Amino acid sequence: MTTDRRLHDQVWLLIGLFGNEPGELELRDGRLAFRTSSGVQFDVPLSEVSYVEYPWYYFGGGVQFTVAGRRYRLSFLPPPSHGGRAGDVPEGRRVGAAWRSAFQDAGLIGRR
């Protein structure tokens, strides 16, 4: 399970109902990494990523997955508290589609 794709995008870790923390999600050389201002949250081979889902209520602008037993909920759209506005939706959905395609290529969508 690997992909030769490379992606690197700003994302927002969703915390509870209204909290968020900006970070960077990167796919490179068959590894997925997530960094925030607190440091590296994970940097793992794709084989350690599971339960990748694109819930309908994210409208293509977010993803959920599990790494090392922890569930991550990420948005590709900047929240209003970080300057996000309605005009950001098409770009966030485009970024989400690129990530979805990479996760599909790696065989991660629907993998438990």
Fold of the domain built from segment(s) 7-105: PH-domain like (2.30.29)
Q: Compute the distance between CA of residue 90 and CA of residue 6 in angstroms, rounded to an integer.
A: 21
Extract the tokens encoding 64.
């959920």
Which pLDDT band holds residue 2 (cuts at 50, 70, 90)?
Answer: low
Residue 45 half-sphere exposure, CB side, CA atoms within 13 Å?
Answer: 3
Q: What confidence score (pLDDT) does residue 61 get? A: 93
The per-residue pLDDT for range 21-60, each reduced to its tens digit, is: 999 999 999 999 999 999 999 999 999 999 999 999 989 9
